[in-house]
Amino acid sequence: MFPEGSRLQGPIFIAGAPRSGTTLLRNLLNRHPQIGMCRETGFFHYVYSRRREFGDLRDAGKRRRLVDEYLSIQRIQRMRVDMEALRARLLREGTSYQSLFTALLRFPAEAAGKALYGEKTPHTLFLETLWEWYPEAKVIHLLRDPRDVVASLQRMPWAANSVVTNARIWLSDNLRAWGYRAQPGYLLVRYEDLVAEPERELRRVCGAIGVDYARCMMIPRLDPTADRPWFHRAEEPVTPGRSGAWREALTAGDAALIEWVAGRHMDVLGYAASQPAARWPVIARGLGWAAWDSARRWIGEFPGGWLYVTKSKKLAAEEAAKDRFRFRHLTERLGS
């Protein structure tokens, strides 16, 4: 845990499994007069994973090709910033992948008059890289009951429709983040504590970052970048109403499968099992459905998944292919 009252020298990152309340915490921090937190930029997925393909950014031509491709994706367009000014900033400062990422995060924060900057993103795959780049960074690991996370993921059009797959996502993301708990820049925040005692938890986070708690953090405020339906709940007043919602959303068999996947790690991370051990027929059905759902998604998102696997530079084409499938998936779920 980073020490209370430490002076922030690097960016702030919110890490954790999807649907763990990372958007909620991002919104709360972003209301602080000194903190500007981006939504997910997808930088590591779209850019850093293709660094060999895009090449050395000290080359102005390669840098221009990357910036133009990256700024063409809707994820960046939804940031609602001056895109021409952002492009000029990235072309001027982005002579390495680290400096490009830094310029990207700092731009919206500075445009809003904020001194501190950061991002809400599931960065658990790249925490080692982040701490290499920013030794003074603060990583807030937001942890939530795996059953609530899976229950929420089951409703998302961009997520798997498999309890087993979503439970594995919770486990892998949280174990990766938990593995860095000895880092001086690591802070664990539990979703259940955040929604039960939001002011207390925000005071703890602000004290650790080195800023004073601001009462305006608790005042709901419309965010124009929240243009997806799953963002809207995180803009509402903070209540503990969603804690434990899995008890109504999941069957006993689903909960047992989640506890089977999480295993002993669930207890280590502070969540007690509630179901009898899953029987092998239930496990076999869960694994079979996970395999079928994975294949269905791969086919549905094609060629987006293929463009990612082959590290294509056609970033907007990859995003569009995946979004078409997710829109159809959302329509199906709303109609069911």
The answer for residues whose C-beta is within 8 angstroms of residue 31's C-beta and 6 or more apart is 214, 216, 217, 219, 221
Tell me how far apart the alpha carbons of residues 310 and 307 are, in angstroms, rounded to a whole number: 5
- Round to whole Å and give the CA distance between 17 and 20: 6
Identify the residue whose tokens are 């990207």.
104
Tokens of 253: 């068999």
142-152 CB burial, b ≥16 within 10 A, e <16: bbbbbbbbbbb
pTM (predicted TM-score): 0.90
- pLDDT per residue, tens digit, the chain (336 aa), is 333 333 445 799 999 999 999 999 999 999 999 999 998 999 999 999 999 999 999 999 999 999 999 999 999 998 889 999 999 999 999 999 999 999 999 999 999 999 999 998 766 889 999 999 999 999 999 999 999 999 999 988 888 999 999 999 999 999 999 999 999 999 999 999 999 999 999 999 999 999 999 999 999 887 766 666 656 666 778 888 889 999 999 999 999 999 999 999 999 999 999 999 999 999 999 999 999 999 988 888 888 889 999 999 999 999 998 888 776 655 555 455
Are the beta carbons of 5 and 207 closer than 8 angstroms?
yes
CB 160 within 8 A of CB 295: no
Domains present along the chain, CATH in parentheses: 12-335 (3.40.50.300)
Question: How far is residue 207 from each of residues 140, 199, 204, 223, 307, measured CA to CA in Å?
Answer: 13, 12, 5, 25, 43
